[in-house]
Each structure stands twice: as C-alpha cells, then as structure tokens.
Amino acid sequence: MNNSVQVGKIAPNFLTVGIYKNRLGKIRLSDYQGKKYVLLVFYPANFTSVSLTELIQLSDRIIEFRQLSTQILAISIDSPFSHLHYLLLQPNQGGLAELQYPLVSDLNQTITKNYHLLTNDGLSLPGAFIIDKEGIIQYYSVNNLLCGRNIDELLRVLKSIQYIKENPGQACPVNWKNGDQILSSHPLKAKAYFKTFYSYKSE
C-alpha cells in the first residue's frame, strides 16, 4: 500500500476505466500532469444519496473549475457499467445524466486503498484531493459518509492554492477569498497585516 498520501507528496498515479459523455475510455491521473490541476473526488458508491447532491452541484459549477484550469474526476468502487447506468438516469430519477466530468471506476478497490479511504464495508470514504499541475497533493479532506461536502470551500481552497503558487512570499489568511487582503509568509513582514486587522484589541 502506498504510504505517501499527504500534502506535499506526489499523488498516487492510477490507470483505470472512466466514463464521460456515456463513452468508456482509459483514465490515467498522470496524463493531467503539466496541464491541469485535478480535483479528485472519492464517493462511497453509486446511488448513495449524499454523494448524488455533491456530484450534481460539482457538475452545475463546472465552468468555475474550468476557469481555474482544473479537471474534476469522481471515483467510486463501482464498475464502469454501473457508472453508465447512473449516467443514463435523470437527476429526478436519482441519476447523473449530462454530468460534465468523468466518473472513474475502481472496481478492484486499488485506488481507494492507495488513497487510504476504503472502509471495512468495502465503500470509499468521501475524500477530496486537490492535485497541482506537478502532480503534488496540495490539499485533502475526508468526510463522514453522511456529511455532504461544501463546494464553495473546495473552490476557495483551490483559488488560495493557485494564488500562493503564483505569488511566492505571500500567504492567504483565515477565511481568505479572492480579492481579500493577503498576508506575507515572512513573520516580520506579516506584522503590517496584524497591525491593520488587530489594532482594535490594543485600544
């Protein structure tokens, strides 16, 4: 088992079958290296209610991710044929028709194991990994099976990661959103930020 799943490490590569626009094809994580960021979204299984809400909203907001040069890949332990069935059903039927990114099959559970998300019941914990263009994990989170993820927060973190990579020496403070004041990563230079935002505490 791969033990290097942590921020700052290369994301475990994989080659498997995915479905996009109702067509089967090979999906290799390393194919995106040097080209795009990847948001790798693990979900427990097809037809699970919480994950359906997440996958639909990710699709609805695909333009925002594309503007950030980010490819979404959603992965579960289901077969490609189960994925295809899922994609042929409309949302009001509990399906993912017209999904705007690939569903990836991990039928032998190897990928899920390598990312340390496999449960004792053979499902995947809801994990989300932001992988940069160099193939390095920059962020990950793991949720309870019944707690939905926040798409706004995933976008916020993605934007902050891209900002600090493009602006060396700068950092994003608490609750930072695009356009907010930034913070110097140097402790002494950061004092200007704290004088501005925390001066009221000394009054």
User: Which CATH number do you get for residue 74?
Assistant: 3.40.30.10
Same domain, 30 and 129: yes
Dihedral of CA 154/166/64/12: which sign?
negative
Same domain, 194 and 153: no
Evaluate if residue 190 carries a pLDDT over 70.
yes
Same domain, 24 and 57: yes
Give per-residue burial for 106-117: e unless 16+ CB within 10 Å, then b.
Answer: bbeebbbebbbb
Residue 7 domain flag: no
Evaluate if residue 15 carries a pLDDT over 90.
yes
Evaluate if residue 78 carries a pLDDT over 70.
yes
Q: What is the pTM of this model?
A: 0.92
Same domain, 30 and 118: yes
Same domain, 42 and 83: yes
* Short-list 38, 28, 33, 16, CA closest to 110: 16
Mean pLDDT of the chain: 93
Query: How many structural domains does the chain have?
Result: 2
Would you state the structure tokens that stand for residue 145, as one six-digit string? Answer: 């099976």
SS3 49: helix
Same domain, 72 and 116: yes
Residue 10 domain flag: no
State the pLDDT confidence band at 183, using cuts at 50, 70 and 90.
Answer: confident
Same domain, 27 and 119: yes
Residue 8 domain flag: no
Residue 192 domain flag: yes
Residue recorded with tokens 């948001």: 39
% of the chain beyond a pLDDT of 70: 95
pLDDT at residue 3 in the model: 56
As a whole number of angstroms, the distance between CA 28 and CA 166 comes to 26
State the pLDDT confidence band at 198, using cuts at 50, 70 and 90.
Answer: low
Q: Residue 83: which domain range? A: 15-166
* Burial (CB count within 10 angstroms: exposed 0-12, middle 13-18, buried 19+), residue 146: exposed
Same domain, 54 and 145: yes
pLDDT at residue 1 in the model: 39
Evaluate if residue 2 carries a pLDDT over 50.
no
Same domain, 97 and 156: yes
